[in-house]
Amino acid sequence: MPLPKAELHLHIEGTLEPELAFELAARNGVALPYAGTDELREAYRFEDLQSFLNLYYELMAVLRTERDFEDLANAYLARAAAQGVRHAEIFFDPQAHLARGVEMGTVVEGLWRALGDSEAAHGVSTRLIMCFLRDESAASAMRTLEAARPYLDRITGVGLDSAEVGHPPVKFREVYEAAAALGLRRVAHAGEEGPPEYITEALDLLGVERIDHGLRCMEDPRLVERLVRERIPLTLCPLSNVRLRTVDVLAAHPLPAMLDAGLLCTVNSDDPAYFGGYAGDNFDAVAAALKLDEERLRELARNSFVASFLEDDEELRARYLAEVDSYTF
């Protein structure tokens, strides 16, 4: 049995495996500009975040119906469960679908068909986090929040993703204020490719409770001190960092230094179909490359549940933490 863990940084569109992409393309009569799954996999060589995002948005063309989103989410949940994921807080990118004429209701209800009975079907509890695309306008984000209003019983929080540099958190201050007023939890990608100042801005101006990635905090010791003091969780994605070249090789990943500094780090997969592994694969890869011992891995698993948005079900969180504490490697 794998180590029980929560996954807190996972873009559902980033779980689209080449095989499913071609299956959905055929089902929906969508032409993909690749001869087959091998040729598509060949395209998975990224220089940076933007080169990945280009392919990520291109492949979304195959997602059209509720059933597509349901199949996508079920495929992820099955894989995640097999790797010890007991709880998943799942990002989705509605603007990327709305722009293609796929409605908010299709996306949310489709995902919910899988998420709604995931505890029974996969043994994985779930939450849904709606992300705004930071390279789109604040007005577009506000319209997206408005479009989500009929579905807020299914949505736990909001996030901020896509191309980071040049799109500082301050751009979305009013949107996040509106989200908070609706009772939504708040997170944001910051300090993946963008500077440490974006992390500070996300905390101070957007009121986020977790930072997605946050790797570049290590360039600013005072920011590290603050993140430690305020117990702000960071959702790290080690295999993503290597594939998008924010870290040269896994053996040079700052995770051990970050844990030593007292940061509340978690390990996640980001876009597992593109970056070479799901949550358990990320745990295994850092354990091997960074020589993490069992207690370090247990600490990472504990952190994932501590950092999760399970305030609405503390009993469940306590049960998961007890599973981690009694786990034998």
Binding mask 266-305 for ligand HPA (x = CB under 6 A): ----xx----------------------------------
Q: Are strands 264-267 and 233-236 parallel, antiparallel or unpaired?
A: parallel
Nearest distance from residue 247's CB to ligand HPA, in Å? 13
Residue of 125, 162, 268, 282 interacting with ligand HPA (CB under 6 A) = 162
Question: Which residues carry a binding-site annotation?
Answer: 9, 11, 189, 270-271
Decide if residue 199 touches ligand HPA (CB under 6 A). Answer: no
Residue of 3, 8, 10, 14 interacting with ligand HPA (CB under 6 A) = 14
Residue of 118, 240, 246, 282 interacting with ligand HPA (CB under 6 A) = 240
Decide if residue 71 touches Zn ion (CB under 5 A). Answer: no
3 state SS of 63: coil
Going from the C-alpha of 182 to that of each of 145, 147, 175, the distances in angstroms are 10, 13, 11
Residue of 5, 11, 185, 302 interacting with ligand HPA (CB under 6 A) = 11
Nearer to ligand HPA, 3 or 131 (CB): 131
Closest CA to 325 of 306, 286, 299, 304: 299
Q: Tell me how far apart the alpha carbons of residues 170 and 204 are, in angstroms, rounded to a whole number.
A: 9
Phi-psi map region of 6: left, alpha, beta (phi>0 left; psi -120 to 50 alpha): beta
Decide if residue 7 touches Zn ion (CB under 5 A). Answer: no
Question: Which residues carry a binding-site annotation for Zn(2+)?
Answer: 9, 11, 189, 270
Active site residue 192: yes
Nearest distance from residue 41's CB to Zn ion, in Å? 21
Decide if residue 233 touches ligand HPA (CB under 6 A). Answer: no
Residue nearest to ligand HPA (CB): 161
Decide if residue 164 touches Zn ion (CB under 5 A). Answer: no
Going from the C-alpha of 141 to that of each of 46, 91, 158, 173, 175, the distances in angstroms are 27, 15, 11, 11, 7
Nearest distance from residue 164's CB to ligand HPA, in Å? 6
CB 12 within 8 A of CB 73: yes
Nearest distance from residue 162's CB to ligand HPA, in Å? 5
Decide if residue 216 touches ligand HPA (CB under 6 A). Answer: no
How many other C-beta atoms can be found within 10 angstroms of the C-beta atom of residue 245? 14
CB 2 within 8 A of CB 83: yes
3 state SS of 182: coil
CB 3 within 8 A of CB 327: yes
**The entry of ligand HPA, Zn ion, none that residue 136 binds, CB within 5 to 8 Å by partner kind:** none
Residue 142 backbone dihedrals phi, psi, to 5 degrees:
-65, -40
Nearest distance from residue 75's CB to ligand HPA, in Å? 17
**The entry of Zn ion, ligand HPA, none that residue 14 binds, CB within 5 to 8 Å by partner kind:** ligand HPA
Going from the C-alpha of 138 to that of each of 71, 80, 279, the distances in angstroms are 31, 33, 32
Which residues of the shown chain bind ligand HPA in the complex (CB under 6 A)?
Answer: 11, 14, 49, 56, 161-162, 189, 192, 240, 270-271
Catalytic residues: 192
Which residues of the shown chain bind Zn ion in the complex (CB under 5 A)?
Answer: 270
